[in-house]
Amino acid sequence: MPSNSILLVEGVNDAHVFFNLFDRHSISFDKPPMKGQPSVEGKFSVKPQDGIETLLKNLGVQIKASERENIGIVVDADEDPQSRWNALSNILRKAGYKNIPSSAVSGGAIIHEEGLPSIGIWVMPDNSLLGMLEHFVASMVSGSDPLWIHAQNVVNNIQISDRKFSNRHVMKAQIHTWLAWQEVPGIPMGAAIKATFLDANTPLASQFISWVKTLFNC
């Protein structure tokens, strides 16, 4: 029987990153059946949404779901983390939550309300900085890696007039440039964790894992 606890994430790419990060830390979560293998039941399931707007729209429904125990929410801060927090807070207040922090909490928020599911909120990348999933993933790259330094310089040195990507996606361009230069060129972010090209034990990754373990009693 699937878990009554869920982790809501913005999309499939996010889910694959977390699948592999959880595996590296031996965290038990629901896994769909793979080729020739049965499904695996764990402490919670990971539910990718079709973007932030869909996640916000579905959150109220998930809170009201029968026997729901814990709900984790991972969203990108993008360029306005407070706006993202406020959008989540408004939904939680309408659902009956009262003890909601005024802004994102260092180390991830966990909100308890009697008669309602416990809510955990992590605003990517670290609950304080602007950014998104790719900034979190970049924290798992060694800062002394010459290819990482080179990838950043290559992207930064592209003339603004020649760029096809927006300023908010500079980190996305940098991390995917770095991934293109690995032993398996162009490997996805999640697979790079599995292949140990990315370090799953950096301080920020460990802090995120600690939040997940606390929320879902792993």
Based on the fold, state whether residues 66 and 39 are members of the same structural domain: yes
Tell whether 1 is covered by a domain. no
CA distances from 148 to 103, 166, 186 (A): 32, 20, 14
Q: For the segment 81-131, what is each residue's pLDDT rounded down to a tens digit?
A: 999 999 999 999 999 999 999 999 999 999 999 999 999 999 999 999 999
Task: Classify the C-alpha dihedral 86-92-95-100 as positive or negative.
Answer: negative
- As for how many domains the chain has, the answer is 2
Based on the fold, state whether residues 149 and 63 are members of the same structural domain: no
Q: Where are the alpha helices (DSSP H) in 75-169?
A: 81-95, 133-138, 146-156
Tell whether 137 is covered by a domain. no
Question: Are 122 and 110 a contacting pair, CB within 8 Å?
Answer: no
Tell whether 193 is covered by a domain. no
Of residues 79, 75, 84, 80, the one with CA closest to residue 167: 79
Based on the fold, state whether residues 25 and 126 are members of the same structural domain: yes
Tell whether 179 is covered by a domain. yes
Based on the fold, state whether residues 118 and 43 are members of the same structural domain: yes
Based on the fold, state whether residues 31 and 88 are members of the same structural domain: yes
Amino acid at 149: I
pTM for this entry: 0.93
Based on the fold, state whether residues 146 and 120 are members of the same structural domain: no
Q: For the segment 14-36, what is each residue's pLDDT rounded down to a tens digit?
A: 999 999 999 999 999 998 766 66
- b or e along 76-108 (b: 16 or more beta carbons within 10 Å of the residue's beta carbon)? bbeeebeebbebbbebbeebebeebeeebbeeb
pLDDT at 33: 67
The domain in which residue 56 lies consists of: 6-131+200-216
Q: For the segment 153-175, what is each residue's pLDDT rounded down to a tens digit?
A: 999 999 999 999 999 999 999 99
Which token pair is 158?
Answer: 């592209």
Based on the fold, state whether residues 155 and 90 are members of the same structural domain: no
